[in-house]
Amino acid sequence: MPAAGRAAFRALHFPYDPALRFELGLEDAGGGAAPPGGGLALPNSGDDDLRFRPLGRLVLPLPGGARTLTLFWMEGYAGGLFLPFGDATNGRETYGAGRYVLDTAKGADLGVGRDDASVVVDFNFAYQPSCAFDPRWACPLAPPGNRLDVAIRAGERIA
């Protein structure tokens, strides 16, 4: 957040919704070998070329039917799991380019589920990327396959 906006900033959150917390296993796990160049380049808010390797798909049992998101491994920077997503709140209630649920490089990780083969995905902890608050930050963004056609009213919001 630029210094000029810090005093007026107020964090906003949707109410906690226990129905938006999941313990999920990966489908199509393994992601295969990284493509040439060290992985996939996800859309980015800046000029950086951050590379990610798809690990598998997470199937979300959402109201109205299951939806899938791809879980990524960050190839550079600090490494770690990365789960960006877009949804129907983007551009109105949340940052237009999506939010993050998991980014273990930055400590945003709720750990494994009841067994070592599951990942905790809790949208109540979804947050805006740094570039939502300050354009000097370059952020990897949710790729088209990680954009949900439903509203996820959980976690941080901007309006």
Element (DSSP H or E) covering residue 104: none
pTM of the model: 0.85
Distance CA 42, CA 76 (A): 13
Rounded to 10 degrees, the C-alpha dihedral 5/15/129/24 comes to 170
DSSP three-state, residue 97: coil
Boundaries of domain holding 70: 3-29+38-157
Distances (CA, A) of 34 to 56, 105, 119: 13, 19, 22
Instruction: Report the b/e string of 113-148 with b at 16+ CB within 10 A.
Output: eeeeebbbbbbbbbbbbbbbbeeeebbbbbbeebbb
Residue 155 has pLDDT above 60, yes or no: yes
pLDDT at 116: 73
Closest CA to 70 of 144, 153, 16: 144
How confident is the model at residue 28, as a pLDDT?
79
The confidence band for 49, taking pLDDT boundaries of 50, 70 and 90, is confident
Q: How far apart are CA 159 and CA 19, in angstroms?
A: 22
Count of domains for the chain: 1
User: Using one digit for the tens of pLDDT, what is the confidence trace for 131-151?
Assistant: 887 878 788 889 999 999 999
Q: Which of 26-30, 140-144, 155-159 has the lowest mean pLDDT?
A: 26-30
